Chains A and B, each alone.
Chain A
Amino acid sequence: MSQKIAPARLPAASPAGPNRPAAAQAIGRHRRAGGDVGGPVAFPLIALLSSVGTLAVAAAYAAGREGWPDLSALYWPGQLLVYVPIALRAYSPRLTRPAEGFALLLLLFVQQTLLFRMYSPLALKYPDELQHWRGTVNVIQSGRLDQANYSLPPAVHYPGLEALGGALSASTGLPPTATAFIVAALLHLLLVCALYVLCLRIRADWRVATLACVIYAANPHFMFFDAMYIYQSLALPFLLLAVWALRLLRLPGRAAGRWVVLLIAIGVVTVSHHITSFVMVALLGSLAAAGLGRPRAARELRPVAAWLVATAAVLAWVLLVARDVVGYLAPVVAQLGDSATGLLHGQLGATAPGRAPLVEPLDERLATIGALGMLAFLVVRGSRDLWPERHAEPWTLPLIGGALLIFAAGGLRFVASDGAELSGRSATFIYVPVALVAAIVLHDIRRRGLDHHDTGRRGLALLGGATPVVAAAVILMGGVASGWPPAWDRLPGPYLAAGFERSVDPQGIAAAEWALSALGPGHRWAGDLTAYTLLATIGDQNTVRDGGVLFGGRGADAAASSFVKREDIQFLTVDLRDSMRLPASGGYFPVDPNAGRHRSPLPRTDLTAPDRVAGVSRIYDSGDIYLYDLRGSAYDG
């Protein structure tokens, strides 16, 4: 093989065995290890096994919809059946072909995409997806990108996904919902490919790249949140491609084309998602610093140039186009500050008053801790192994630093008041170096195991054989349990109050559609969490997040009137089912000061209090949902 086509690689994490020169692990090369000479016969059997797992999860979903409690227990066995055989094969020394490794990743992608979409196979129900569905519909209907999206105002200034979805829908004639399904799947596939080629370029070992992608697939948000039709799903693969293109610049020749690819990737990230663009600046900054930190003769200036371009692009976009993003993200930053302050007072965020406690079942919480602990162990060991290579390979330190952030993400779960969500969101980024470092270590462990295989100690061998199974199961369970959806939302089923996708039902959709058709778009509304989502997305209405003051049963008192005038509220929506059920997510409203403290449902008389206020019109009644017009009423007077 020509050495030209092998990319630069980090030195091996450990010295190659006497019979296994490091060069043999270069990209695309494979050796037959473990005595497997029969070809990849395992692949079709693994495909069958994991498909059975998908069927088991489908049965659990069906059980949730139909109310068959016994079958719902199939959820976890199904999830494990999908993931564990693929993970074990990716770890196995019998995996001898790069094509099989990548086929395993595609198989995992197909299965996990189905697991995600089968939750709601006919309609978009996830609030985040509905927000971008609204943006896409706006683009198609108006032919412009600057139409207000009341459900997610910053998305207007990060219109990459809406541009893509609008183009595909208009050009193919597909409805926006079908377009969203297809675009989300394509972007998820691109994420898998981008992660694989990046790992391949960094480590030049297809086994490590395969294993890293499999580990990354167990991160808390990979299967659901990162597979959604949302703007981060577009930005994330291009972030990885930007780093990949930067890595390609080390190869001789074709520098102009690689720069173009790098700039395109930076451009797509910049116009698509705020957080990802900030992560891009930080990531390229760390690579630039690593390149500059080398001896003068070996300094790398290309990452510095890439970082400068990315920083300029992101700054220009935020200052000239997306000026509202600072205000949008400010509450999250403030929340982190509050959590840090609370921590100084000895108060862990997750148990602070007014915050929903960690409500995972004990086994899921143990799996979460176990997965975090296992990955943390691999990261620490990998960092120790990689440390000596920091002089030879400038990306070693950023890789180690990024992987060690797993401790910050883990700590965030317990420190921040909304720590579980923030930790999961950050895992999307942090798990890239974590997965790569863990894969390097696991690959090393497996190789050493082969070198020192002792057939005489059968018990230990059996124990060693069981370890990867347990580890894969724990890592997947921990990832799924700490990600989205939470335990109460994991299966589809009947309506839940304030239950995100579980609250999206025909009655709520009908009310939102009626509001748009009868009243027109853009009116100011107050309502509960579900109304906030459905009216703003399907109804194209301008909803407020903190309307709880109108649900206190005190009618048009001073606080309510003041709120209505200050927020220019025109309409109010009430869902009487809030008087029958506690909020599944902890709070009835997007901003609920009593979140996690509700001990009984809202009184029905409080919900119907607007009926007793002078000048209020009840303009819509569907049994559970009332829509009120407050204009000209005592609220407004």
Chain B
Amino acid sequence: MTVERDPFARPRWLVTVAVAVPLLGVADAVGPQPFAALGFAANLTVLGVAGGRALLGRAGLSAVERVTVALALPIAVLVLGTIAAAALRLHLDRPLWAALVALAAEGAAAGVLSGRGQPGEPGNPRRWRTMRPQGGRGILWGTSLTAAGAVLAAAVALSVWTATRQSYPAFSALSAVRVGGAERSVRIELTSEEAAPARFIVAVAVGGARPDSITLLLAPGVTWRKTVPAARSASVTVVAYRGTRSGVPYREVHLAPGGTR
């Protein structure tokens, strides 16, 4: 029976990991985003693999168990480490998480290094023989798995495509709130989420004064904003009409005198 390969048996590899972890941590903490993400992911991987090895060793654990620990340990360190940092009133940000993961990964690598001098554990027999196509079945395997991947890709594409174009009723939103320290003005917003560019007439009436009208052409997704002076004791009514004629109100908001503190 063959024995599983043990990468940690090679000291050079282990030393390389121990040296690389702080560098990856620096990249994670202050590097530009793609390198930061890569550094973070690399240190998480080291933490999971080396941490599992340092804590549980290798003998007696199946491959799935080792993978499970390698997946669980980084998650646990992030969860418990973040909560501990928060309890210490530290600000939670990228540098802190980079330092946390780098320290834990370095500790895990050091744990594996320190165990190297001890009597070695027996190597695991290679029990998880991989599934390999035999004889002339390679073509069947390749074809089937490629087709399965293609079908799954089609399923995802179909879902994304239909979710993107799922139609919801178009709408536009009109709002008005009193703003400013003394709240002597009103901020009016009209956001168009219509299916196509649309014309609006917005009529603003402050107190008993004659309404001021503004004509707008808004593209979908565009917000029009205007701030108008209005005493707090004055009521404000804003009406939006669709099109170029002020007929039936399309949207209407109103602020009661003294309302909207």
Contact = CB atoms under 8 A, between A and B. Distances in A.
Contact of A102 (B64, B125, B171): B64
B151 A52 contact: yes
Interface string A598-627: 000000000000000011111111111001
A451 B191 CA distance: 73
Contacts of B127: 1, 27-29, 98
24 contacts: A1-B1, A2-B122, A48-B145, A51-B149, A62-B161, A118-B156, A144-B86, A159-B82, A163-B86, A168-B78, A172-B37, A186-B75, A190-B71, A234-B79, A244-B65, A268-B76, A506-B171, A507-B171, A616-B256, A618-B252, A619-B260, A621-B173, A621-B251, A629-B255
A45 B146 CA distance: 11
A330 interface: no
A166 to B, nearest CB: 6
A99 B130 contact: yes
Most chain A CB inside 10 Å of its own CB: which residue of B137, B141, B148, B256: B148
Nearest to B127: A28
A19 interface: no
Contacts of A130: none
Contacts of A38: 134-135, 137
A492 interface: yes
Contacts of B145: 44, 47-48
A351 interface: no
A248 B75 CA distance: 20
B186 to A, nearest CB: 10
Contacts of B134: 38-39
Most chain A CB inside 10 Å of its own CB: which residue of B140, B154, B173, B189: B173
Contacts of A622: 171-174, 251
Contact of B59 (A4, A54, A615, A619): A4
Interface stretch (B7-15, B162-170, B196-204, B208-216): B162-170
B28 interface: yes
Nearest to B124: A5
Given A5-B124, A254-B56, A272-B79, 7 more contacts: A7-B60, A44-B140, A144-B91, A145-B82, A172-B41, A251-B60, A619-B253
B40 A171 contact: yes
Contact of B125 (A1, A193, A261, A519): A1
Contact of A44 (B33, B76, B141, B253): B141
Interface residues of B, number: 95
Interface in A221-253: 234, 237-238, 241, 244, 248, 251, 253
A166 B92 contact: yes
Contact of A41 (B79, B133, B151): B133
A629 B186 CA distance: 14
A145 B83 contact: yes
A58 B72 CA distance: 31
B98 interface: yes
Contact of B144 (A48, A103, A159): A48
B72 A506 contact: no
B140 to A, nearest CB: 7
Contact of B67 (A193, A254, A264): A193
Interface in B48-78: 54-57, 59-60, 62, 64-65, 67-69, 71-73, 75-76, 78
A97 B71 CA distance: 23
B260 to A, nearest CB: 5
Interface string B218-253: 000000000000000000000000000000001111
A146 to B, nearest CB: 7
A145 B79 contact: no
A253 B119 CA distance: 12
A83 interface: no
A539 B129 CA distance: 53
B86 A264 contact: no
Most chain A CB inside 10 Å of its own CB: which residue of B64, B97, B176: B64
Contacts of A591: none
